[in-house]
Chains A and B, each alone.
Chain A
Amino acid sequence: MGRRVAIVGTGQTYHKSHRPDVTSKEMIKEAVDAALLDAGITIREIDAIVIGNMDHFESINAVDTYSVEGSGAYMKPVMKVSTGGTTGATVAIAAYYHVASGLFDRVLAIGFEKNSESDTTGAIITCSDAIWDRFSYSGAIPSLATEATAYMEQYGARQEDAALIGERDRNHAMNNPYAHLRRPLTVSDIMASPMLAYPIKLGDICPRSDGACACVLAADGVAGKMTKTPAWFKAAAVRHTYTWFGDSTDYTKGLVSMQRAAQDAYSQAGITNPVEELDVAELYLPYTWAGLKWIEDIGFCGRGEAPKFVGEGNTHMGGKLPVNPSGGVISTNCIGATAMLRVAEAAIQVMGKGGQRQVPDVRNALATGFGGCFWSDVVILSSEKP
């Protein structure tokens, strides 16, 4: 068993579709400065750094060394971790492992992306297998769309059921000053938006954002001196399946990596009834259908029950288990930072620093990462030291 570890500070940039005013490393520094300020420390007190973004998105491959001026990693142990869409959560989890190991007391985790500096769809296509998948694959949207067609066929869900997820998250984003898209969308707006890849319409899918996020993690014994409200890691689970799409898309089984990661996380955290025991969830939902399908895989409701569960308002602010008070990925998507934003926003909720987006009395918060070829990460943070 490792040491107990908490997030003691978070920082994020404001998000935009294009930040021509800064380089990636300058943008990273904005998030790092904010996280250090939030944790009340300077870079000198950081023992090690973990950083990641999407491999080759900006055609900057040695990101650990490239980013040194922004990350503060000069002459410090620094490692790059890159696992596709899950990167941000995996970076946070790798930083957690660093501290839990007992070798480092204070570790900085950083995720970033400047989507504006490359063609996102083209870059994502090059993440797929060059021999088998790349010629037919057209980026994230159609592969997610296949999941939606299978879900509709299996459970009779309607496009309007998915659109409600978009309406919810975009409304929630109005409470988050850092969100990229802060303009509400209704179900009918989404239904009327252009069809990109059936059944995904423009209003169903996440934007491309420029942005960075950083978290300061500290060990038991150190964390309590840095903040009165540490967000303790109760669980961290990583589940990756295959690289080839055909090996990860048996939709009769559901999103297996998410199911397994959630089961592992609940078992680590001693949670048996997630809806009752969790107070808020920040889920990596890159498209609206994920807000239905994947909450079933995470165990918030049974198979095929999500349209009803969401329709009854259970996941809206004020509901039984609010999902994405930040506005989620549908509102902000700087891909290498996106999954870390989920972890950071979960920490913000536990620390009570959410301002207008704060859910009252949060004890346990769950965050997910999603990406690669249907890969999943799950983190559970808590105000209670495990």
Chain B
Amino acid sequence: MSTENKASEPLQVMFTHAMPYEWSIGLYGSVFFHEIRKNRRFTGIRCPGCGLVYVPPRRVCGPCFRELTELVPLSDTGVITAFSVVNYPFIDPNTGKQRPIPYTYGYIQLDGADNIFSHLINETDLEKIKVGMKVRAVFKDPAEMQGNTQDVKYFEIIR
């Protein structure tokens, strides 16, 4: 009897292989990472139409739909505009492994920029982090930098 039940169970197939991709960072995106490696500071770009400074730098201002060329050196500091402390376990599609938790995901307005930069903040104690706090980027050792967002290790709160 149990054998017959088993024979009518719905079946599933699985796919578990890695599928590598390769993405171009783009002209100004590459400048952004080179500048981090050379001078440990961020780079924005100003729109000649609306005057907004965007970070990361990109070729076009969405609202104005104009080509951007004026790169603007920024510092390594900013302000927390929003954050969340991530507590739930999940598989990181970048690595195929569980991402270490807890960690703090933050939206940071870099000084001199008009939009927001998303990254990590190294404070998971809700008593010690608030919207509006000043933060500073902590970079990897230049020898270890690979030209990606993890060249910034995290932002730390300036106390």
Contact = CB atoms under 8 A, between A and B. Distances in A.
Most buried by A among B99, B105, B119, B132: B105
Interface string B28-57: 010000000000000000000000001110
Contact of A197 (B25, B54, B87, B148): B87
Interface residues of B, number: 42
Nearest to B25: A131
A126 B126 CA distance: 28
Interface string A100-132: 000000000000000000010111011000111
A135 B100 CA distance: 12
Contact of B86 (A21, A131, A197): A197
Interface in B107-159: 107, 115-120, 126, 130-132, 148-150
Contacts of A21: 10
B107 A246 contact: yes
A138 interface: yes
A123 B15 CA distance: 14
Contacts, number: 123
Contacts of A136: 105, 118-120, 149
A121 B89 CA distance: 10
A272 interface: no
A244 B23 CA distance: 16
Contacts of A131: 23, 25-26, 29, 148-149
Given A137-B118, A245-B118, A250-B115, A150 B84 contact: no
A93 B114 CA distance: 33
A147 B82 contact: yes
A198 B90 contact: no
A134 interface: yes
B120 A153 contact: no
A195 interface: yes
A380 to B, nearest CB: 26
A135 B150 contact: yes
Nearest to B9: A20
A205 to B, nearest CB: 10
Contact of A145 (B55, B62, B84, B117): B84
A62 interface: no
A133 interface: yes
B149 A141 contact: no
A130 B23 contact: yes
Contact of A138 (B62, B105, B107): B105
A153 B132 contact: yes
A139 interface: yes
A221 to B, nearest CB: 40
A251 interface: yes
Given A132-B149, A141-B88, A249 B82 contact: yes
Given A142-B86, A147-B82, A150-B81, A247 B150 contact: no
A135 B95 CA distance: 10
A241 interface: yes
Contact of B21 (A123, A130, A251): A130
A21 B10 CA distance: 6
Given A131-B149, A196-B88, A126 B93 contact: yes
Interface in A234-250: 241-242, 244-247, 249-250
B72 interface: no
A135 B84 contact: no
A190 interface: no
Contact of B131 (A59, A143, A149, A245): A149
B29 to A, nearest CB: 6
Nearest to A153: B131
Interface in A146-179: 146-150, 153
Interface in B1-28: 10, 12, 15, 21, 23, 25-26
16 contacts: A121-B91, A122-B93, A130-B21, A136-B118, A137-B118, A138-B90, A141-B88, A150-B131, A153-B131, A198-B87, A246-B107, A246-B117, A247-B116, A249-B82, A249-B107, A250-B115
Interface of B: 10, 12, 15, 21, 23, 25-26, 29, 54-56, 62, 81-88, 90-94, 99, 105-107, 115-120, 126, 130-132, 148-150
